[in-house]
């Protein structure tokens, strides 16, 4: 209980958060009503009952379906603002937010509506909540690289609002090597690069993300435990892994949180930290993830402090602001 209080008291960052994954069942219903969309569920409670996933794909199927209620700039603002208010309540002072433009543009929502709605909430959070933020545009890896390249072109007028690019969606069978051209372009434009790798896919995908996409961070990366060589390399190079404990259990990467390698990775010197991934789907926001780790893995205070420190060290905050936090 003392450690849980400490977690609430400490300023924290969140570095792995899909804004579409913060869409709560209640908001799905509210937006469906506002936009005149009929849903195949009678109530938010009935929708929430479907959140019992077998793997990444069974989650993604529902996640993309729920996303369809997001239509206007105002919808994206409301979604993002609701998440940022949660951050304020949990003392999360800096966030790096993923969004999936293709899941919106592919159903006719203009890129501009999406990015402007999200950005307006981020600006308001800076001024009203003192939360700093950076936006990371993710490419959907189940779609061809040409679609990612087209999205990269659509993003050009908005690059002043976008700090990095990422790679997400179905991992197995969609290796990082398929996206070398679009990542090279983003890197050349000065953007940070990250990729989901080693969540369901093999450790080799982590290596590909580093060698072929030149990523600055790995999202998830937990299957790095399958390669001692890669573990040593990632530790030496100081590549961070944005770990998401509740996500990994809800998507059956581990049977139970007690089996999670978070603390052994930390003790092996890897730069890991805790994140919520898709909090509306996986059982809670950042503090809920810390609480679950505390209950299942019994970290000591030094480990909790190191996880929080890593969340700042691994962030893309300007170095000067980072220093003030460490």
Q: How far apart are CA 290 and CA 273, in angstroms?
A: 10
Is 199 noted as a catalytic residue in this protein? yes
Q: How far apart are CA 266 and CA 188, in angstroms?
A: 32
Both structure tokens of 169: 């969606």
Both structure tokens of 55: 């793997």
> Nearest residue by C-beta to ligand ES4?
168
Smallest CA-to-CA distance from 279 within 42, 29, 85, 119 is with 85
**250 is in the binding site of which of ligand ES4, Zn ion, none (Cβ under 5 to 8 A by kind)?**
none
* Minimum CB distance to Zn ion smaller for 10 or for 175: 175
Beta bridge partners of 274: 243
Contact pick of 12, 104, 196, 223 for ligand ES4 (by CB under 6 A): 196
Interior/surface letters 269-305, b for 16+ CB within 10 angstroms, e for the rest:
ebbbbbbbbbbbbbbebbbbbbbbbbebbebeeebbe
Beta bridge partners of 196: 219
**78 is in the binding site of which of Zn ion, ligand ES4, none (Cβ under 5 to 8 A by kind)?**
none
Both structure tokens of 305: 């402090």
**Within positions 76 to 105, which residues make up the interface with ligand ES4, using CB under 6 A?**
none
Please tell me whether 16 is known to bind a ligand: yes
Q: Which of 24, 113, 171, 199 is catalytic?
A: 199
Please tell me whether 78 is known to bind a ligand: no
Per CB under 6 A, does 21 bind ligand ES4? yes
* Minimum CB distance to Zn ion smaller for 3 or for 148: 148
* Minimum CB distance to Zn ion smaller for 194 or for 234: 194
Q: How far apart are CA 135 and CA 98, in angstroms?
A: 6
**Within positions 252 to 311, which residues make up the interface with ligand ES4, using CB under 6 A?**
277-278
**What HEC string does 275-325 produce?**
CCECHHHHCCCHHHHHHHHHHHHCCCHHHHHHHHHHHHHCCCCCHHHHHHH
* Minimum CB distance to Zn ion smaller for 39 or for 246: 246
Q: Which residues contact 289 (CB under 8 A, 6 or more apart)?
A: 244, 245, 246, 274, 275, 276
Work out how close the CB of 196 gets to ligand ES4 at its nearest, in angstroms, rounded to a whole number: 5
- Residues in contact with ligand ES4, total (CB under 6 A)? 10
**Within positions 197 to 236, which residues make up the interface with ligand ES4, using CB under 6 A?**
199
Per CB under 6 A, does 56 bind ligand ES4? yes
Contact characters 261-290, Zn ion, x per CB under 5 A? ----------------x-------------
**Within positions 147 to 176, which residues make up the interface with ligand ES4, using CB under 6 A?**
168-169
Per CB under 6 A, does 250 bind ligand ES4? no
Q: How far apart are CA 306 and CA 304, in angstroms?
A: 5
Residues at the site binding Zn ion, with contacts judged by CB under 5 A: 277
**Annotated binding-site ranges for substrate:** 278
Residues that are catalytic: 199
**Annotated binding-site ranges:** 16, 18, 196, 277-278
């Amino acid at each position: 209980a003392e450690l849980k209080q400490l977690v609430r008291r400490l300023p924290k960052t969140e570095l792995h958060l899909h804004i579409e994954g913060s869409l709560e069942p209640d908001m799905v219903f509210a937006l469906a009503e506002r936009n005149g969309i009929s849903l195949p569920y009678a109530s938010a409670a009935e929708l929430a009952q479907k959140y019992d996933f077998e793997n990444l794909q069974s989650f993604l199927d529902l996640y993309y379906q729920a996303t369809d209620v997001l239509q206007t700039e105002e919808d994206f603002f409301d979604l993002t603002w609701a998440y940022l208010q949660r951050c304020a309540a949990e003392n999360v002072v800096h966030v790096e937010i993923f969004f999936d433009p293709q899941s919106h543009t592919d159903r006719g929502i203009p890129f501009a509506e999406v990015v402007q709605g999200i950005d307006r909430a981020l600006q308001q959070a800076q001024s009203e909540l003192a939360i700093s933020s950076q936006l990371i545009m993710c490419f959907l890896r189940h779609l061809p690289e040409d679609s990612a390249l087209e999205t990269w072109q659509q993003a050009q007028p908005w690059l002043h609002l976008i700090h990095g690019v990422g790679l997400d969606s179905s991992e197995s069978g969609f290796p990082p090597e398929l996206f070398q051209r679009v990542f090279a372009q983003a890197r050349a434009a000065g953007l940070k690069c990250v990729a989901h790798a080693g969540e369901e896919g093999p450790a080799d995908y982590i290596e590909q993300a580093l060698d072929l996409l030149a990523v600055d961070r790995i999202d998830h990366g937990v299957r790095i435990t399958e390669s001692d060589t890669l573990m040593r390399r990632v530790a030496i190079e100081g590549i961070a892994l944005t770990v998401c404990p509740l996500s990994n259990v809800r998507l059956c990467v581990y049977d139970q949180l007690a089996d999670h390698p978070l603390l052994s990775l930390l003790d092996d010197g890897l730069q890991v930290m805790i994140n919520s991934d898709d909090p509306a789907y996986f059982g809670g926001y950042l503090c809920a993830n810390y609480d679950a780790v505390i209950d299942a893995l019994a970290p000591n205070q030094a480990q909790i402090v190191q996880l929080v420190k890593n969340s700042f060290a691994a962030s893309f905050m300007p170095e000067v602001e980072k220093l003030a936090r460490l």
